[in-house]
Chains A and B, each alone.
Chain A
């Protein structure tokens, strides 16, 4: 009997040793591959252990911060957005549920202190010691007060839309509003499935027919190419024949003989179609490239959230440069031409800047946890969209758009506002995309902007220009 007892013990002992072998497999062999699996909550705990840096507006409003909490006996940091939907698309989110987007994503290395610089090196030691890793604080160029006005104005209309304000001197993003918005604290899950696409940053991902605001680009191209001067005379009928199809002025209005400058101020389609035909495809496209069309701005934002503007085919792709286009209709901002509000704000920036295109810059300063400045971006000039003389000419003409033309509603007391209205057909009868782009003050501009309101009955002058005025008032109230 004892021999059998011994045999049974051996069988059971082999079983128990098998347990040790299998445990060894998981803890030694399979460990690293299991560590990286998405369903492993330890990844989340590791992220939560980092005291992610705050994101603050230039006027001192905290847009994103980390709040300490306790999870399984350790201190962890939960992301909180005190201003909710105020700049939700620009700032983005860092969420266990939905991952990261916006600046929370593009600035992640700095916010988590995992850059290659000194902070990153110090943090990798902290990680080894088990101390809390603290990320850098990011101060944005964003003006929270003006951003709020922009959001309120758009929300008041109950419309989808966007407001972008750039500082022409350095590309700083002063306002980047997009409606509808979402609350990244509580509304993220709902926003993911919302048919109104609140997660979409309409300033950088929304592609809209620019309509008459594109005439600024056409005018820059024509003036630079010496196709016209401001004084060149045009006939001004209500409609012309373009490529076998009628092309008419807004509300079929006839103007009579007028100068090219007058045509820009009063947004005369027939004249710009004629100028477009004279310019030709190659010249217009070259100017568009100079303004930044056909490529993404290489700025500090997730690339898939910043789309290029340009001429798109029916499948929604940028068309081949060799493909034929209806140049006269492109010249008035219609046909298959689509642009983001950010691109159109850059058009205004170029005019305000004497022709220079400056890269959009969300960040004013990055500060280490000890308060020292890690990074302070300097302006990046991306090239010249037009000559200084052309820019000066356009500036004068765009000033008159507000003073005596279609953009009167953008006038702000004590501020010289220059601009251009746009009312683009959307394909739905009676509904337009209302635009207003411009800059202020007209000389030594501090603000260059684009306002877009989707699918409204009114015109750019009626709907978009007043929003620009309200935002400009907020900006000047802040800075003077």
Chain B
């Protein structure tokens, strides 16, 4: 059987073969957009595809040398996702695609940096408090120095670049939590006191968790974005559950957040608008609340099962802008669903499912608590972010300002997600190495 043959290939050769497949998809996609949109052939997209291929091959070679036993599927999955994102961004605006191409190369550089620096993932555990502190500083910087884009305060401007520190703070927070929870999980799981028959850990142990809960709500108000706040909080709860196994914590935490968020909504009109648009999108389709979400739904529905085809959907308006504002970032999934149809959209979601599965598998195979918590936390971060942003654009959840990992336009998002991929590979190298 051919797949058995494939699985018998050495790990890194499997990775290389899958990357080659991703590059084939990328090249075909670029060619399709080019054919659909331009009257004559231009070589620029092929050059772009060649650069893309070169960057991934170099990344593969570094992995081959430094992490020979690491998971062979993660890097090819990121290759397909970044390729699909880049193709659709190119279809929206070639100039944006040039930027995004640069971000992908930078992301791969960061990826290589991470796997070289944290080849031994235990080194990271010693940096847990540093990571926590930097995460807090980054978030504070966002709140204090942040500029509002589309109503949300998620960006800071550094040397002419817009940076979304939350994307990096998210990773640092997972590292901190992994280290912290491994250290304290016994005391958190087996509380010393009981209140109303419920075991409650001592305040000094649970204080950091209460701080996280409070901080998430502060973030909701300060950043004016439900998505980031929810993401941070869910990551923390998920890691707490894995560390302690206490579903009660999770339930209490979720209730606490729901209550706090309901109260906080009163002072965040933007989030309130988003919730109105979620509940009653057809009430006034041209209004602030509902224009984006209804246009997103029209765009998705128009794709049908097989999609309009790369470059053949109705995405841009007569001014050359996108019909859905922020189509290249928040609404990239709608564009994919339009041009690739249900088939393509399902494939993208399944790729994330596969990515999450590899992440959680790495977590189960790792043999130390820190690695397990870190891998599970990072996998949760990616999977839940996909759930929240895609859920938002398909009206399963209120709309939020998160990016679709590896696919959305944006330097912070792309590079941060490559860092996550790098960390997961490092963990898997150690886990697989020890099994051998």
Contacts of A35 in B (CB 8 A): 301-302
Contacts of A22 in B (CB 8 A): 391, 394-396
Contacts of B380 in A (CB 8 A): 8, 12
Instruction: Give 9 nearest A-B pairs by CB, closest first.
Output: A72-B316, A73-B37, A9-B360, A39-B285, A12-B383, A34-B301, A15-B387, A2-B364, A27-B342
A289 interface contact, C-beta 8 A = no
Q: How many Å lie between the Cα of A76 and that of B217 in the bound state?
A: 49
- Please tell me if the beta carbons of B394 and A12 are within 8 angstroms of each other in the complex: no
Known contacts: A1-B372, A5-B372. The answer to whether A39 contacts B396 by CB under 8 A is: no
Q: How many Å lie between the Cα of A163 and that of B300 in the bound state?
A: 52
B245, B294, B337, B390: the one contacting A39 at CB < 8 Å is B294
Shortest CB distance A309–B (Å) = 41
- Please tell me if the beta carbons of B376 and A8 are within 8 angstroms of each other in the complex: yes
- Please tell me if the beta carbons of B242 and A8 are within 8 angstroms of each other in the complex: yes
- Please tell me if the beta carbons of B311 and A73 are within 8 angstroms of each other in the complex: yes
Q: Which of B57-65, B142-150, B208-216, B344-352 contacts A (4 or more CB under 8 A)?
A: B344-352
B254 interface contact, C-beta 8 A = no
B369 interface contact, C-beta 8 A = yes
Known contacts: A8-B238, A8-B360. The answer to whether A15 contacts B383 by CB under 8 A is: yes
Contacts of B312 in A (CB 8 A): 73
Q: How many Å lie between the Cα of A342 and that of B4 in the bound state?
A: 84
27 contacts between A and B (CB under 8 A): A1-B243, A1-B245, A8-B376, A8-B380, A9-B379, A12-B380, A13-B357, A15-B383, A15-B387, A17-B353, A18-B387, A19-B387, A20-B350, A23-B300, A26-B337, A27-B342, A28-B342, A31-B304, A34-B302, A35-B302, A39-B286, A41-B323, A42-B314, A71-B317, A72-B314, A72-B317, A73-B316
B51 interface contact, C-beta 8 A = no
Q: How many Å lie between the Cα of A6 and that of B245 in the bound state?
A: 12
Contacts of B356 in A (CB 8 A): 9, 12-13, 16
Interface string of B136-169 (1 = CB under 8 A from A): 0000000000000000000000000000000000
Q: How many Å lie between the Cα of A440 and that of B192 in the bound state?
A: 112
Q: How many Å lie between the Cα of A30 and that of B303 in the bound state?
A: 12
- Please tell me if the beta carbons of A20 and B304 are within 8 angstroms of each other in the complex: no
Q: How many Å lie between the Cα of A73 and that of B304 in the bound state?
A: 20
A24 interface contact, C-beta 8 A = yes
Q: How many Å lie between the Cα of A275 and that of B118 in the bound state?
A: 112
- Please tell me if the beta carbons of B294 and A31 are within 8 angstroms of each other in the complex: no
A1-B369, A23-B342 known; 11 new pairs, CB 8 Å cut-off, are A1-B243, A2-B372, A8-B238, A20-B346, A22-B395, A22-B396, A24-B346, A27-B303, A27-B305, A28-B304, A31-B304
A314 interface contact, C-beta 8 A = no
Known contacts: A5-B376, A9-B360. The answer to whether A16 contacts B301 by CB under 8 A is: no
Contacts of A31 in B (CB 8 A): 301-302, 304
- Please tell me if the beta carbons of B387 and A16 are within 8 angstroms of each other in the complex: yes
Shortest CB distance A263–B (Å) = 63
Q: How many Å lie between the Cα of A41 and that of B301 in the bound state?
A: 13
Residue of A nearest to B303 (CB): A27
A156 interface contact, C-beta 8 A = no
Q: Which of A5, A13, A22, A39 is the most central at the interface, judged by chain B CB atoms within 10 Å of its CB?
A: A5
Shortest CB distance B146–A (Å) = 29
- Please tell me if the beta carbons of A40 and B298 are within 8 angstroms of each other in the complex: yes
Interface string of A240-265 (1 = CB under 8 A from B): 00000000000000000000000000
- Please tell me if the beta carbons of A26 and B242 are within 8 angstroms of each other in the complex: no
Shortest CB distance B293–A (Å) = 12
- Please tell me if the beta carbons of B384 and A41 are within 8 angstroms of each other in the complex: no
**Chain B binding site: helix, strand, loop or mixed by DSSP?**
helix
Interface string of A393-424 (1 = CB under 8 A from B): 00000000000000000000000000000000
The A-contacting residues of B in range 282-311, CB under 8 angstroms, are 285-286, 294-295, 297-298, 300-305, 311
Shortest CB distance A45–B (Å) = 5
A8, A28, A30, A73: the one contacting B305 at CB < 8 Å is A28
Q: How many Å lie between the Cα of A12 and that of B337 in the bound state?
A: 21
- Please tell me if the beta carbons of B37 and A12 are within 8 angstroms of each other in the complex: no
Contacts of B311 in A (CB 8 A): 73
Residue of A nearest to B284 (CB): A39
Shortest CB distance B33–A (Å) = 9
- Please tell me if the beta carbons of B395 and A34 are within 8 angstroms of each other in the complex: no
Chain A residues with a Cβ closer than 8 Å to the other chain, count: 34
Interface string of A119-156 (1 = CB under 8 A from B): 00000000000000000000000000000000000000
- Please tell me if the beta carbons of A5 and B394 are within 8 angstroms of each other in the complex: no
A5, A20, A41: the one contacting B314 at CB < 8 Å is A41
A37 interface contact, C-beta 8 A = yes
- Please tell me if the beta carbons of A26 and B360 are within 8 angstroms of each other in the complex: no
Q: How many Å lie between the Cα of A118 and that of B391 in the bound state?
A: 47
Contacts of A41 in B (CB 8 A): 295, 298, 314, 317, 323
Q: How many Å lie between the Cα of A350 and that of B337 in the bound state?
A: 64
The A-contacting residues of B in range 386-423, CB under 8 angstroms, are 386-387, 390-391, 394-396
- Please tell me if the beta carbons of B242 and A12 are within 8 angstroms of each other in the complex: no
B132 interface contact, C-beta 8 A = no
Contacts of B360 in A (CB 8 A): 5-6, 8-9
A12, A24, A26, A39: the one contacting B384 at CB < 8 Å is A12
- Please tell me if the beta carbons of A27 and B364 are within 8 angstroms of each other in the complex: no
Contacts of B353 in A (CB 8 A): 13, 16-17
B314, B342, B395: the one contacting A45 at CB < 8 Å is B314
Q: How many Å lie between the Cα of A6 and that of B242 in the bound state?
A: 10
B238, B349, B364, B384: the one contacting A6 at CB < 8 Å is B364
Residue of A nearest to B352 (CB): A16
Contacts of B357 in A (CB 8 A): 9, 13
Contacts of A9 in B (CB 8 A): 356-357, 360, 379
- Please tell me if the beta carbons of A27 and B369 are within 8 angstroms of each other in the complex: no
The B-contacting residues of A in range 58-87, CB under 8 angstroms, are 71-73
Q: How many Å lie between the Cα of A315 and that of B350 in the bound state?
A: 67
Contacts of B317 in A (CB 8 A): 41, 71-72
Contacts of B301 in A (CB 8 A): 26-27, 30-31, 34-35
Contacts of A24 in B (CB 8 A): 342, 346
Q: How many Å lie between the Cα of A20 and that of B314 in the bound state?
A: 22
Q: How many Å lie between the Cα of A12 and that of B396 in the bound state?
A: 15
Contacts of A37 in B (CB 8 A): 298
Contacts of B303 in A (CB 8 A): 27
Contacts of B230 in A (CB 8 A): none
Contacts of B376 in A (CB 8 A): 5, 8
Contacts of B391 in A (CB 8 A): 15, 18-19, 22
B286, B298, B345, B352: the one contacting A42 at CB < 8 Å is B298
Shortest CB distance A75–B (Å) = 10
